[in-house]
Structure 1
């Protein structure tokens, strides 16, 4: 997989997502497992960040807590300056619907719906109408114009993931979370998706946070946040593939 040089990112702006002393423990007593251990980290608006670490480092748990898909045991979490820890289920559902987008490794498309119907589904569930000009721009940008009437099984893996990216971006969320978004793609399709996420951050001002195990994918980001044993283990700015590989090797990740 190869990528062009990073587009110039905009100047630093206030945090879109911030965690303070975030801890997540599963189980109790001698069987308790601490997946996150007093993690404090912030993610700036308009930046693309990769979260990496060895297996069991807590990277997926951190993303799930940041995205409000999981509830931390303790600590503070804010999204766009709004404290979200402590919100009830209805408020969290509304927040995820209106302010958070998701791109998953498995695409998570509804098999009985067309590509266009999948893209529009979150807005329809929310009873909202799409911005048609933005929809047209996304379709053009993602090269989906001749695929909108196709169902997922009629699309390649790369096309399915582009539909998932369009679905995530259409509501213009504050933050887009990617859970191994290139994990099921070939190198060419993976590079295309990473380029789209770069553009979403640098041109559209959206915050992109991606969990990945792939140093090449991570090199598309502006920043890599490293975890080990549930704790922050450093970061890399303007990452290069070899830098990321070396850092993971030092943390004990198998490459």
Structure 2
């Protein structure tokens, strides 16, 4: 775990050239005596073309951070920027349009439409936007993810790993600025999970995608370029070029600090 201030730290300056960034981001749920601070003055940036995993104990704020960065929730204070566009200044309609055009999502539950074929699910974002998909780009995705012989299959005819590959291709289909992945291997066995994580990594390495993934699994996090650790709503450190062992060590350090704080 880093001993010097990591790229994203509480109160740190944030470059405007990052793919997505937060500036002094705070999120409080409730008010008065029942107020809970999920994020506390967090500043962090995620560079273009990188694969970042966000980890931390339950209640650390990792899901809250991802939801705010993706424009799925509103901040109590602070800013979220997608490139140079401030999400926190947009209205609901503008946010909906931005999410559709510039952000991709991959969820634990796949979220494929059961009545559609794999190909129809992949091209769904373009259909909803009323635009024509870039066939050359779709062909690249389909071949990269090895889905050419599954395009006419419906979700129930695909394995869990294949369904998640379709979901990733769908997220990539509009060439978004960033993809947010929420526990993308949570419903998969270890073999299928490793396959999906390899495809996410290839998306970054070969297709230049930016991915921010929330996970609780050190093995999954090790596929990323870096791991950002959260604790008590604040950035607790980063791990560069992570391995399962270095991630476990970082998480253990967070638990030790937490236990010491409770004992004190």
TM-score band by shorter chain is: over 0.9
Greater alpha carbon shift after TM alignment, 194-203 vs 178-187: 194-203
2:135 corresponds to which residue?
A: 132
Structure having the larger proportion of residues in helix? 2
Give 5+ residue unaligned stretches, structure 2.
1-15, 257-264
Name the CA distance, whole Å, in 1 between partners of 2:183 and 2:54.
10
Q: Does 1:250 align with 2:248?
A: no
2:78 corresponds to which residue?
A: 75
**What is the 5 A alignment of 1:211-230?**
211-230=214-233
State the Cα deviation string for residues 105-145 of structure 1 (Å, max 9, x = none).
00011111111111111110100111111111111111111
Q: Is the 8 A contact 2:125 2:173 kept in 1?
A: no
1:122 corresponds to which residue?
A: 125
| SS of residue paired to 1:85 | helix
Q: Does 1:34 align with 2:37?
A: yes
Q: Does 1:87 align with 2:90?
A: yes
Q: How many residues align?
A: 241
Deviation at residue 193 of structure 1 after TM alignment: 1.3
Q: Does 1:209 align with 2:212?
A: yes
- Select 1:107's aligned residue among 110, 131, 135: 110
Deviation at residue 202 of structure 1 after TM alignment: 2.1
1:152 corresponds to which residue?
A: 155
Deviation at residue 33 of structure 1 after TM alignment: 0.8
Q: Is the 8 A contact 2:56 2:216 kept in 1?
A: yes
- Select 1:241's aligned residue among 234, 244, 251: 244
| SS of residue paired to 1:111 | coil
CA RMSD of aligned residues (A): 1.2
Name the CA distance, whole Å, in 2 between partners of 1:138 and 1:204.
9
Q: Give the TM-score normalised by structure 2.
A: 0.89
**What is the 5 A alignment of 1:160-199?**
160-199=163-202
Structure 1 segments, 4+ long, off by >3 Å, are none
Greater alpha carbon shift after TM alignment, 190-199 vs 44-53: 190-199
**What is the 5 A alignment of 1:54-65?**
54-65=57-68
Give 5+ residue unaligned stretches, structure 1.
1-12
| SS of residue paired to 2:149 | coil
1:96 corresponds to which residue?
A: 99
Q: Give the TM-score normalised by structure 1.
A: 0.92
Greater alpha carbon shift after TM alignment, 192-201 vs 47-56: 192-201
Deviation at residue 203 of structure 1 after TM alignment: 2.2
Greater alpha carbon shift after TM alignment, 130-139 vs 161-170: 130-139
| SS of residue paired to 2:89 | coil
2:261 corresponds to which residue?
A: none
Deviation at residue 14 of structure 1 after TM alignment: 3.2
